């Protein structure tokens, strides 16, 4: 089973200098690539000078996460792609449990490891934590991370389990599945494109897994911090994109209308917190959604709303009203 570790880079020379050594040290047997999204810093020169044995794929433009990987992976030949952020520090033998799971579970198309916080290693990290889920309104959340509440890693998620979505910070996907899906949807640019990819994979009968025996440390926020208004814009807009694309009409439209209402409440909350730029980001997200609705609607797939992995009606209500910050508390309800 040949794995290609592909790191997407954009002006990340400092990150490559700091975190690439762990990938080289602990990824024996894997091919390592750096896909550069038309960086204007010294990233490419740094790689060629210090790591001449690593293959550098130079994309012609910065098309974001989605287009960046779509373009780069056309030049990679391996059975399994590992999409790895440039701000991730991997650990010894991190690939072994992933390979074993792919071998033992042939239905597995996508896998993610445990994602821990590089700056606070005892806790899960925001981007992916212990595997992603969605509620019945299409809001994504994770085991180990619900909104900004991060759990301490006490071994509670050291399992192998089916999840709804795997994080793009460290995602393993079979090349054949990625190509069948025609890669990421480039209209997303960045953020939640992995949710859409996993959703589409499951609509075709594939499965997504989390493997807790493999773990990595993620710095996070190196491109956009969790509370950057641009990230708010992309997350709110792209979530609406996914619902529109991946649900039958009878289910999609009621959920979209409900989401628009709840997004309005979120905008009001940002105003109350004096975070006006985030309120404006939500408004822009809706305007962009309306403007591109026809194009996104044409991509819609005939599928059932896949919610066999969790039954939370509204993660927003559970977290902000009932103050539930732990995934296992949700499970007990």
- The pLDDT value recorded for residue 234 is 95
- Residue 313: per-residue pLDDT: 81
- Where among 90, 111, 146 does a domain terminate? 90
Report DSSP letters for 275-331, one per residue.
-HHHHHHHHHHHHHHHHHHHHHHTT--------TT---S-HHIIIIIS----HHHHH
16 token code pair: 């490559």
- Tell me how far apart the alpha carbons of residues 271 and 286 are, in angstroms, rounded to a whole number: 17
* Contact of 182 with 133, CB cutoff 8 Å: no
- Does residue 206 lie within any of the structural domains? no
Domain boundary among 44, 74, 90: 90
Residues forming a β-bridge with 32: 5
Q: How far is residue 132's CA from residue 17's CA, in Å, rounded to a whole number?
A: 30
What confidence score (pLDDT) does residue 319 get? 87
Please count the structural domains in the chain: 2
In CATH, what number is assigned to the domain containing residue 48? Answer: 3.90.550.10
Is residue 213 situated within a structural domain?
Answer: no
Query: Is there a domain that residue 250 lies in?
Result: yes
- Residue 161 in domain: no
Give the pLDDT of residue 223: 59
Domain that residue 244 falls in = 229-332
- In contact, 172 and 99? CB cutoff 8 Å: no
Neighbour-count burial for 99-114, b at 16+ CB within 10 Å, e otherwise: bebbeeeeebbbbbbb
Segment 160-206, tens digit of pLDDT:
999 999 999 999 999 999 999 999 999 999 899 999 999 999 989 99
Kindly state whether residue 142 falls inside one of the protein's structural domains: no
Find out whether 138 and 56 touch, Cβ atoms under 8 Å: no
DSSP for residue 152 = B
Give residue 304's pLDDT: 64
Would residue 117 count as lying in a domain?
no
User: CA dihedral defined by 79, 167, 229, 147, rounded to 10 degrees?
Assistant: 170
Which of 60, 90, 120 lies at the terminal end of a domain, its last residue?
90
303 is a domain residue: yes
CB 16 within 8 A of CB 46: yes
192 φψ region: left (φ > 0), alpha (ψ -120 to 50), beta (else): left
In a domain, 259, yes or no: yes
Q: What is the pLDDT along the chain (333 residues), one digit of tens a residue?
A: 899 999 999 999 999 999 999 999 999 999 999 999 999 999 999 999 999 999 999 999 999 999 999 999 999 999 999 999 999 999 999 999 999 999 999 999 999 999 999 999 999 999 999 999 999 888 999 999 998 899 999 999 999 999 999 999 999 999 999 999 999 999 999 899 999 999 999 989 999 999 999 999 999 875 566 678 999 999 999 999 999 999 888 888 999 999 999 999 999 999 999 999 999 999 999 999 999 999 999 998 766 666 555 668 888 888 888 899 999 888 654
C-alpha to C-alpha distance for 179 and 28, rounded to whole angstroms: 25
């Amino acid at each position: 089973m040949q794995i290609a570790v592909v790191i997407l880079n954009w002006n990340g020379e400092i990150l490559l200098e700091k975190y690439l050594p762990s990938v080289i040290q602990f990824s024996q047997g894997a091919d390592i690539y750096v896909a550069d999204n038309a960086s204007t810093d010294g990233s490419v020169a740094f790689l060629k000078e210090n790591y001449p044995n690593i293959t550098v794929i130079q994309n012609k433009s910065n098309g974001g996460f989605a287009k960046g990987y779509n373009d780069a992976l056309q030049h990679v030949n391996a059975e399994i792609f590992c999409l790895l952020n440039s701000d991730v520090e991997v650990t010894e033998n991190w690939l072994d449990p992933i390979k074993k799971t792919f071998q033992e579970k042939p239905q597995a198309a996508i896998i993610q490891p445990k994602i821990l916080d590089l700056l606070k290693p005892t806790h899960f990290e925001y981007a992916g934590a212990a595997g992603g889920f969605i509620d019945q309104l299409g809001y994504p959340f994770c085991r180990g991370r619900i909104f900004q509440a991060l759990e301490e890693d006490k071994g509670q998620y050291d399992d192998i389990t089916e999840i709804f979505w795997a994080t793009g910070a460290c995602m393993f996907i079979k090349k054949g599945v990625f190509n069948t899906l025609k890669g990421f949807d480039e209209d997303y640019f960045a953020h939640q494109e992995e949710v859409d990819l996993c959703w589409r994979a499951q609509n075709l009968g594939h499965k997504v897994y989390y493997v807790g025996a493999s773990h990595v440390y993620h710095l996070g926020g190196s491109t956009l911090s969790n509370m950057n208004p641009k990230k708010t814009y992309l997350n709110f807009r792209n979530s609406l994109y996914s619902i529109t694309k991946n649900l039958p009409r009878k289910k999609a439209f009621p959920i979209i209308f409900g989401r628009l209402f709840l997004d309005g409440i979120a905008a009001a909350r940002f105003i109350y917190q004096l975070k006006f730029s985030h309120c404006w980001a939500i408004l822009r997200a809706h305007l962009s959604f309306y403007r591109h609705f026809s194009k996104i609607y044409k991509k819609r797939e005939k599928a059932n709303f896949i919610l066999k992995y969790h039954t939370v009606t509204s993660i927003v209500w559970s977290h902000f009203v009932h103050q539930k910050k732990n995934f296992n508390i949700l499970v007990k309800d």
